[in-house]
Amino acid sequence: MKLSPVKIGGYTTENNLFLAPLAGYTNYPFRKLCKQSGAGLCFTEMVSAKGLKYGSENTKELLYTDEKEGLVAAQIFGREPDTMRFACEHEALAPFPIVDINMGCPVPKIYKNGEGSALLLEPDLAEKIVKECVKSEKTVTVKMRIGLDENHLVSAEFAKKMAGAGAALITVHGRTRDKIYAGEVNYKEIEKIKRAVDIPVVANGGVFGVEEGEKLMQETGADGIMIARAALFDPQIFCDFTGNPRRNLYDFFAEQADETLVLYGEKFATVFMRKMAAFYVKGMRGAAAYKERLFAAKSVEEAKAIAKEIWQD
């Protein structure tokens, strides 16, 4: 696919290849390595606006960044316009010039609270949320789905409302809420959104390699693509699009582990890197045995030692 910058409000990305916000995974060390591999813009994990309002320390930890990371976007979720604006103006979001509003999460506990993809049912409320967040003077973007199910597609009309309310970019997951993360991506509905608005549209869903990425761009006319689950299994997937050289997987893993340890401590880093290693070994011969050993690791160093056997020997 053709790589090109994307203008989002007053900001311009390095290219049109984005890393999706992935709950539980897109922390600072992971984003940093994806950026090195060629991601043009990375998003934080989904952060609760209420969590920020009521002083959740865990919520603040999700937003760690530094000046070395460069342009990065924070994603928040909620349904109360004033609380969402409060989150945008919170000091924890000060390093993030771009704030993305989640209107696509299909997870039941989010949906049942009227948040995430539930907002697709309430376009007027969604419009108020965007308008209120724009008052914070952040550059506001929206991540949405095409509808709740095939009988309730909202694509173009919902997107027009978000753009009219002041959204500077829309990312569209080309599946309905009931599909969760499975099933075919509906290219036509993404194309409808692209035709309906005059702001950049980024397409999301079903990209596990360059071929799928190119097809998603060609079929939808989108301005860029967003990679989600594929990055968990292979964070260096961005290299395949950009031509950046791939690194030895052990070196990659060790750098991620060391930085995660420094930022979040031994307990978190050990559990987190065991999960990451399980993604990285998927499809390898002997993957089940490797995963069993990795999940038994009691420290980051032990996990690194096992990883070294797998990828460096």
Average pLDDT over residues 25-53: 96
Q: Are 183 and 288 within one domain?
A: no
Domain extent, residue 273, equals: 249-311
**What DSSP string runs through 39-70?**
-SEEEEEEEEHHHHHTT-HHHHHTT---GGG-
Active site residue 105: yes
Q: Tell which residue, 141, 135, 171, 128, has the closest CA to residue 73.
A: 141
Q: Are 168 and 46 within one domain?
A: yes
Among residues 34, 42, 105, 133, which one is catalytic?
Answer: 105
Average pLDDT over the chain, rounded to an integer: 95
Q: Which residue has the tokens 């065991």?
A: 274
Q: Are 152 and 291 within one domain?
A: no
Q: Are 74 and 184 within one domain?
A: yes
Question: For residues 104 and 71, is the Cβ–Cβ distance under 8 A?
Answer: no
Of the given ranges (1-10, 61-70, 203-212), which has the lowest mean pLDDT?
61-70
Q: Are 109 and 193 within one domain?
A: yes
Residue 167 falls inside a structural domain:
yes
Task: Using the predicted structure, report yes or no on whether residue 313 has a pLDDT greater than 80.
Answer: no
Summarised one tens digit per residue, pLDDT across range 152-180 is 899 999 999 999 999 999 999 999 998 88
Report the number of distinct structural domains present in the chain: 2
Q: Are 199 and 263 within one domain?
A: no
Tokens of 227: 């990679």
Would you state the pLDDT for residue 80? 98
- Phi and psi, residue 224, nearest 5°: -175, 180
Tokens of 213: 């990425």
Q: Are 91 and 230 within one domain?
A: yes
What percentage of the chain exceeds 70 in pLDDT?
100
Q: Are 70 and 213 within one domain?
A: yes
Q: Are 297 and 200 within one domain?
A: no
Q: Are 148 and 209 within one domain?
A: yes
Q: Are 236 and 137 within one domain?
A: yes
Summarised one tens digit per residue, pLDDT across range 117-143 is 999 999 999 999 999 999 999 999 999
Q: CATH number, domain at 143?
A: 3.20.20.70
Residue 2 falls inside a structural domain:
no
Q: Are 189 and 254 within one domain?
A: no
The pTM score is 0.95
Of 145 and 59, which is predicted with more confidence?
145
Residue 58 falls inside a structural domain:
yes
Residue 1 falls inside a structural domain:
no
